[in-house]
Amino acid sequence: MQEAMINKAKQLLADGTVSRVIGWKRGEFAYDITPAVFETAEELEKDFVFDDFTSANVSKYLVKESKKEGKVLVFLKPCDTYSLNQLTKEHRVDRDNIYVVGIPGGPKLDIEKIKAKGITGITSVKNDNFTLKIETLYGEETMPFYEAVLDKCASCKSKKHVTYDELIGEDGDTLESNRFDMVEQLENMTSQERYDFWRSELSKCIRCNACRNVCPACTCENCVFDNPASGIDNKAPADSFEENMFHIIRAFHVAGRCTDCGECSRVCPQHIPLHLLNRKFIKDINSLYGEYQAGADTTSRAPLTDYTADDCEASIVHERGVE
């Protein structure tokens, strides 16, 4: 697949369809891959990589890249295409300036899950028929592939590309996923248990803002939490209550726009399951307004920014309008 992608990129660069390519760049180790922009065939051949660790959703880079001179080629996994659609819908990208090549999705691996097994000194990770063969400075280790799969991939919702200009490989379908299982577990807790769960998780927050900055739905030019003029800017968890509010406010702000790409939890250095907040909103929106998947298209009206007489709380507006 990696070779097919490099060839496609080289061809599109050579025939002038695009002037730049967004993909993933090889790192120092087996797993430390950086999203990158490639401009030449040489750069692609030297450093372009697509493997079990190329999990980063690169769609948010298009906010900046699609506004530059010349068309940009981007390789998107099925989950990433939902993010691009949502960005297109919100007019945050210039879709005409983007050439999307759809590529197969995961499951991708989480190096942290491998390290959590106590495996260290990792020099290579190979998938041998769904057993990971891990070379380390202290000898070879093995573990089942599925135990190292990223959480976001373990509850994959779709193998379908919702936007693309061309595909490498075949398109898939949306999946029956288990993504609301944990939300249901939380719903079934007593309010005290649920409160304790979230206090325990959110108190780990170091306020690095990685979740916000990686989030394709968080594209405000100046976040309210960074803006001294807002009166609520802060850059530290002065107390744990404040941290709780940061995450809850952020979840509210992306409600109805979050495509459930899972990047927030993937990048959290403290492994806080932030995606569960978003999934709760998605689940509630589904049950209150009918099934809705953000990013599935670029034209529909989102439940929270639309009004219909069938809305779950339509009466509030109705009553206000009555003489």
Question: Of the ranges 90-98, 101-109, 125-133, 206-214, which one interacts with other proteins (CB under 8 A)?
Answer: 206-214
**How many binding residues for other proteins (CB under 8 A)?**
46
Residue 96 CA to residue 160 CA, distance in Å, equals 21
Interface with other proteins, residue 298, by CB under 8 A: no
Which run of H or of E encompasses 200?
Answer: helix 191-202
Nearer to other proteins, 125 or 255 (CB): 125
Alpha helices in 203-239 (DSSP H): 210-214
Q: How far is CA 56 from the centre of its chain?
A: 7
Q: Would you call 138 helix, strand, or coil by DSSP?
A: coil
Q: Is 47 in the site for other proteins (CB under 8 A)?
A: no
**CA torsion sign, 240 to 245 to 246 to 247?**
positive
C-beta of 1 vs 220, nearer to other proteins: 220
Draw the binding track, 106-145, toward other proteins (x: CB under 8 A; -: no contact): ------x--xxxx-xxxx------------xxx-------
Q: Does 166 bind other proteins (CB under 8 A)?
A: no
Stretch that binds other proteins, among 89-97, 141-149, 212-220, 309-317 (CB under 8 A): 212-220
Dist CA 66 CA 228 (whole Å): 29
236 near other proteins (CB under 8 A): yes
User: Could you tell me which of 21, 20, 297, 307 has the C-alpha nearest to residue 160?
Assistant: 297
* Rounded Cα gap, residues 36 and 262, in angstroms: 20
Q: Does 4 bind other proteins (CB under 8 A)?
A: no
Which CB, 12 or 267, lies closer to other proteins? Answer: 267
Instruction: Indicate whether 172 belongs to the interface with other proteins (CB under 8 A).
Output: no
Contact characters 51-90, other proteins, x per CB under 8 A? -----x----x-----------------------------
Residue with tokens 């660069």, as numbered in its chain? 13
Task: Check binding of 270 to other proteins (CB under 8 A).
Answer: yes
How far apart, in whole angstroms, are the C-alpha atoms of residue 81 and residue 76? 6
